[in-house]
Each structure stands twice: as structure tokens, then as C-alpha cells.
Amino acid sequence: MKKKINIAVIGLGNVGSYFCNEIVKKRSDILLKTGKSLNLLYVSAKNKNKKRPFKFKNKQWILHPLNITKDPKVDIVVELIGESNGLAKKIVVSALKNKKHVITANKVLIAKHGNYLSYLAEKNKVNFEYEASVASGIPIIRSIKEGLISNKIFKLIGILNGTSNYILSRMEQTGKEFSEILNEAKQYGYAETNPKSDLNGDDVASKIKILSSLCFHTLISKNNILIDGIYNIENKDIINVKKLGYRIKLLGITEMINKVIFERVHPCLVDINSYIGNINGVFNASIINSFPAGLTIMQGEGAGPGPTSSALMSDLYSILRGNIKYPFIVPYKLRKKIKQFNYSNYSYSCYLRFEVKDKPGVLSSITKNLGENKISIEKLMQIPDKKKQTASINIITHKTIEKRIINCLRKLKKNKHIIKSPTFIRVGDFNGN
């Protein structure tokens, strides 16, 4: 690798601007640690004149970002536009084909096209780096790729979305409802204007797909996986499960079960004294279970320009040190397509909350239905609301399979004493963390 390296940054939002300032400010640190002299040759964004915390020179500005990817002077392209298709994809594909190293923070792009992009990177013998796409302040991708490289990983559990973790934590702290806290989160910059993918589980699903591929050396799965968000969680659930010794967290989980992969994203009841039950606010965390390293736990800030930039910089330094690696640890052609576990056979305890009319026989009609579906009860707590003449029936079941729960809830739809659609949240059984 030559000594003087030219980099181009496409996308100058909060993260892009922060990152550009970092590479300019840290030029001497980069030289010191990598021996390379880095030059920010080009930048590009949708709007040249938008007010932003990074000031570029006129000669650095390129109107059509695709031109950057074809410019022979450019060595590294950093894509910070976002979205899985359209311009972002075109830029990354063209950059790799033109033998540029690529750094991106774009999780949806990787979750959707990461297989093809890693193939292109290997074919063109360049780096394709994406540390910032998952839990930015935690060097989780690098830790799986390097620190834990020789381990057999069995399972990864993560809190991978800061927005939803913030909302769940604040709901507990304040006793306020989802919508109110969501507004608060938007106000403080912890939720985007359109937070849909943060709250419906899609964001975590992209991250889990990327992590799965790293953990198990598989192709990124195209399967439909179990994805459930936090839209339906009410403060009542948070208060009631706390009485039962639990806290609700939106988890991303991936594991291998008999050579089949089981990726899932859903809110989960976790022990209030567990490690994962105590990750609050915008923090991200992950627990990796592997052999022979055992449990490896990592926690850090999951978003924001600073932590994201820290991750982008680690990609940059890695490229500058001249370390060309397979983007997903093993060569593309050796990564296997793998079947998804059929989650209707997934066996777990679950929490059910039924809002019912406070009349005799209602509880027994529910428990009877559970019994008919072979679902047995571990804990039951009935909380009456005398004013409304209703009651909240909270149940933790023993382990049962998903399809029985679905069946049971379907049947209970006809029960006229149940006044609203029941809440149903899975319970995690994580040993030792």
C-alpha cells in the first residue's frame, strides 16, 4: 500500500460531518499509528449548502457521488447515506468493483446485500468494513472477527436498539405511557422523526442477521425471522412484570440449534437481577456464549455521532494498516446457506395479560382454555380495578411451544369477557447472566 491515501466521504449528516472532522483532526494520530498520510480528497451529499458542523473546501465537493467511486485517485470510499437500495447500494457496488476499500455504517444495506458485497470485496481484493453498523460504541464486530476468532460461538443475545431500550427504561422510571415517552425521546434526540424501524424490531433484525453471519460463518439469511416490536407494551405490563421479578427488554437473539439457525427479535421478560435486565437507557449490550472463551459481555453506547465515528475510525485504521480480511471471517464461497428454525416449535415460558370484566367464571374460562392447550401456569396475579369493574389477569406460563400459545389466544378471541386483545411477551431463560 502506498504511503499517501485518499479517502472520500459520501453522506454528510450528523455522523458524516463528525467523521470528517475526526479524520481531519486526527491526521497526525493516523500517521503515527498506521504510517499512512490520509487525505480527505472528496465529500458529497444531497445538499451542498446545508448548514453542518463540518466545513469543506470547494475543491473537495463532488456533485455526483458515483463519479467518486470511479476516480482513480480515490483509495477508500465511506458510504454514510443509508437505505438498503438506491444510491447507497450503487455507490458501494461501484466502489468495490473499482477496487476501492469501502467503509459503511449501513446495516440495512448489509443485511440485504451483504452477501453480494462481501463477494465483490473478496473478488477485488479490497476491504469491506462495517463495524459502525451494529452497536457502534461497542467494538463487537471486531471482537467476533478477531478477539474471539477461534471460538465456537453458540449464542448471542443483544440489546441492540438504543431508542427502544431508552423508551422501555423511561416507561419504568416515570410510569408514563409509550407515546408520551416516545415524544420525550424525539425531543432529546434519542428517537428519529420516523422511529418505525427502531420500534417494530426491524432495526434489530438487520443487526442480528449481520451478527449471525459473523458468529456462525453462514451467509446472511434471507429467511423470514420472528420479529416483534415494542409498540404494544403498556406501562401496566412493565409494572406487573416487575412485581413478578422481571423487566421487559427488546432483545435480538441468534443461536444454533441442531445445525439450524434461530434468529429472532422480540420483547422479552428478563430476570430483574440479571445483567441484561440492568442495561438501561440508550446503552447497547451483547452477551456471547462461546467455547472455550465462555461468556463474553460487552456494553457501550449504541448510537450517536461520537460512538459511530469511533467505529468508523477503527475500520479506517484497520484498512490503513494494510490488513485485508474476508469481510465475514471466512471466504464467501465457504459460507453456508442455513435453514431457519421453525419458531412455531419454539418452546418457552410466556407472560400473558388479559384485561377482563370482573365477573365470576372469567378466570376459570381462561385457565380452562390454557389447560385445553396443554399450557400450565407457573405464576398468576389478578389485579382488580374496582372503579372500572375490570381486572387484569397476569400469567407466567411454564414452558410451552409457540403454536400452543397462538392457538389458545385465537380461541380466547371469542371470549366476550376479555375486553381487549391480550398482551403476550416471551420470557427469556438465560443462565448465569
Binding site residues, a copy of itself, CB under 8 A: 18, 22, 26, 29-30, 32-33, 131, 137-139, 142-143, 146-151, 275, 278, 290-301, 305-307, 309-311, 313-314, 316-318, 321-323, 325-326, 329-331, 334
Minimum distance between the CB of residue 3 and a copy of itself, rounded to whole angstroms? 15
Distances 336 to 81, 99, 109, 341 between C-alpha atoms, Å: 30, 26, 20, 15
Minimum distance between the CB of residue 321 and a copy of itself, rounded to whole angstroms? 6
Smaller CB separation from a copy of itself, 63 or 149: 149
Smaller CB separation from a copy of itself, 136 or 390: 136
| Among 158, 143, 131, residue whose Cα is nearest residue 309 | 131
Minimum distance between the CB of residue 147 and a copy of itself, rounded to whole angstroms? 2
The set of cell numbers assigned to 329 is 471471517
The set of cell numbers assigned to 124 is 477485488
**Cα separation of the two ends of the chain:** 44
Residue 205 phi, psi dihedral angles, 5° rounding: -60, -40
Minimum distance between the CB of residue 165 and a copy of itself, rounded to whole angstroms? 15
Cα separation, 237 vs 352, in Å, equals 9
Beta-carbon count within 10 A of 124 CB = 16
- 112 within 8 A of 87, measured Cβ to Cβ: no
- Angle, CA 267 vertex, CA 341 and CA 238 arms, to 5°: 155
DSSP state, 337?
P
Please confirm, yes or no, whether 107 is among the known catalytic residues. Answer: no
Cα separation, 326 vs 128, in Å, equals 8
Smaller CB separation from a copy of itself, 217 or 403: 217
Smaller CB separation from a copy of itself, 214 or 395: 214
Minimum distance between the CB of residue 225 and a copy of itself, rounded to whole angstroms? 26
Smaller CB separation from a copy of itself, 62 or 132: 132
Minimum distance between the CB of residue 96 and a copy of itself, rounded to whole angstroms? 20
The set of cell numbers assigned to 103 is 467503509
Buried b (16+ CB within 10 A) or exposed e, 72-89: eebbbbbbbbbeeeebbb
Minimum distance between the CB of residue 169 and a copy of itself, rounded to whole angstroms? 14
| Among 254, 251, 253, 264, residue whose Cα is nearest residue 217 | 254
Beta-carbon count within 10 A of 210 CB = 22
Dihedral angle of Cα 120, 124, 126, 127, to the nearest 10 degrees: 10
Catalytic residue of the set 145, 207, 209, 249 = 207
Q: Percent helix, strand and coil across the chain, each rounded to 5?
A: 40, 25, 35
Minimum distance between the CB of residue 283 and a copy of itself, rounded to whole angstroms? 8
Cα separation, 391 vs 191, in Å, equals 34
| Among 33, 89, 61, 116, residue whose Cα is nearest residue 319 | 33
Per-residue 3-state assignment (H helix, E strand, C coil) for 262-308: EEEEEEEEEECCCCHHHCCCCEEEEEEEEECCEEEEEEEECCCHHHH
Residues with a catalytic annotation lie at: 207
